[in-house]
Structure 1
Amino acid sequence: MNTALWIAAGVLAAVALTGGVSKTFVPKAKLAATPGGGWTGDASAGFVKSLGVLELLAAVGLIVPALVDIAPVLVPITATCWVLLMIGAMITHGRRGEAKFVALNVAYLAIAAFIALGRF
């Protein structure tokens, strides 16, 4: 079970890192032109960058506390926060009629819920 939790955390951290880097460092106009990035056209640049920073922090929070065994309770807390973030993403993509991105968000939510329940 521990191995499965580490794999899940690694996968989700990679997703968070990728999304965080793109939202933080890629210009909003370029993000809006990508598949699934259309929602950024309706959001402020500050909001998009803030989400990016939160995703970068999530990537760290899913791995580092358990790896160094300092405050490992931060891992399930981070995973729970990711669940909430994915609920927001599902609502946003659902309103835009982007069913395949809603499904992707459901998958990420399930992985995060698995981590949260397994690590709490």
Structure 2
Amino acid sequence: MDIAYWIVAALLALFYLYAGGKKVVQGKEELRPMMGWVDRVPMPLVRTIGVLEVLGAVGLLLPPLTGIAPVLAIAAAVGLALVQVGGVVVHLSRGEVGQIWLNAVLLVTAAVTAWLATTWT
């Protein structure tokens, strides 16, 4: 189970470091082609979401690696799942039903990561 956790957590962390990092450093014009919802959400909230995603990615990796409060990996995975619930809500409110597939995949992956983390905490 440890190997499965590290594979899934590393892939999830890479995704969130990339996506969250983009939200933190790029402006609305650069984000719009990939994330049309940024027109409807204030930029401070977009930046906050980006910071939460980056912190979640770090939380998936650092606590288990250091052995300091490894239960935080579960909290990080649950937090990332909640971010995706919010993403589904935003897409559905915009009528973008076809856009929620990525949110659904990330939600399930975060839930699996949380479950895998419970096997060693």
> Structure 2 length normalisation: TM-score?
0.91
Match 2:67 to one of 66, 69, 75: 69
CA RMSD of aligned residues (A): 1.2
CA contact (8 A) 2:64 2:73 kept: yes
Structure 1 counterpart of 2:116, which letter? G
**1:19 aligned partner:** 19
Structure 1 unaligned runs (5+)? none
- Where in structure 2 are the equivalents of 1:76-95 lying within 5 Å? 76-95=74-93
Aligned identity (percent) is: 37
Q: Which runs of 4+ in 1 moved over 4 A?
A: none
> Structure 1 length normalisation: TM-score?
0.92
Pairwise CA distance, 1:57: 0.6
3-state DSSP of counterpart to 2:9: helix
CA contact (8 A) 2:4 2:116 kept: no
Structure 2 counterpart of 1:90, which letter? V
In structure 2, C-alpha distance between the alignment counterparts of 1:23 and 1:40, rounded to whole Å? 10
Structure 2 unaligned runs (5+)? none
In structure 2, C-alpha distance between the alignment counterparts of 1:21 and 1:85, rounded to whole Å? 15
- Where in structure 2 are the equivalents of 1:41-52 lying within 5 Å? 41-52=39-50
In structure 1, C-alpha distance between the alignment counterparts of 2:62 and 2:7, rounded to whole Å? 14
In structure 2, C-alpha distance between the alignment counterparts of 1:20 and 1:31, rounded to whole Å? 11
Structure 2 counterpart of 1:79, which letter? A
Pairwise CA distance, 1:100: 4.0
CA contact (8 A) 1:93 1:102 kept: yes
Pairwise CA distance, 1:43: 1.1
